[in-house]
């Protein structure tokens, strides 16, 4: 009965590959997010979706493409992976658009070699 779940937890891949991270929330929230956390622990928002519509798209390379098949799922697809993409990616959800009460998933540690 995990509120926000992500798969996989760890992802090791080579430069140039394409990979996806999946996220699901069972809280009934309308808004979902993707964050990137670098080695210095800085949390950077990448995307925000409200009821399947893209709301926020921060300055993120277009190799990153979010997909929301329904409001409970927000997947992240990354093309042509680069070394600098190595980070922990967190999915989160909130009841309200831009809501400060966010529920985070456990994270996906992506390592690009």
Partner 1 sequence: QQQVKQSPQSLIVQKGGISIINCAYENTAFDYFPWYQQFPGKGPALLIAIRPDVSEKKEGRFTISFNKSAKQFSLHIMDSQPGDSATYFCAASSGDKIIFGKGTRLHILP
Quote the tokens at residue 39.
Answer: 């080695």
Q: Which is nearer to partner 1, 17 or 100 (CB)?
A: 100
**Least distance between partner 1 and beta carbon 106 (Å):** 5
Interface with partner 1, residue 49, by CB under 8 A: no
**Least distance between partner 1 and beta carbon 40 (Å):** 8
- CA–CA distance, 25 with 23 (Å, rounded to integer): 7
Tell me if residue 17 falls in helix, strand or coil: coil
β-strand partners of 10: 109
- Find out whether 60 and 47 touch, Cβ atoms under 8 Å: yes
Binding window for partner 1 (CB under 8 A); candidates: 14-22, 64-72, 74-82, 88-96: 88-96
Number of residues that bind partner 1 (CB under 8 A): 21
Quote the tokens at residue 113.
Answer: 């070699």
- CA–CA distance, 47 with 65 (Å, rounded to integer): 9
Binding residue (CB under 8 A) for partner 1 from 19, 57, 99, 111:
99
Binding site for partner 1 (CB under 8 A): 4, 40-43, 45, 56, 90, 92, 96-107
């Amino acid at each position: 009965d995990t509120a926000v779940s992500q798969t996989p937890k760890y992802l090791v891949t080579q430069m140039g590959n394409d990979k996806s991270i999946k996220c699901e929330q069972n809280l009934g929230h309308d808004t979902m997010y993707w964050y990137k956390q670098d080695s210095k622990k800085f949390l950077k928002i990448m995307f925000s979706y409200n009821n399947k519509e893209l709301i926020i798209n921060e300055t993120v390379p277009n190799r990153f493409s979010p997909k929301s098949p329904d409001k409970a799922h927000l997947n992240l697809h990354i093309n042509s992976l680069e070394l600098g993409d190595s980070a922990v990616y967190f999915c989160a959800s909130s009841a309200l658009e831009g809501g400060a009460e966010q529920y985070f998933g456990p994270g996906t540690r992506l390592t690009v070699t």
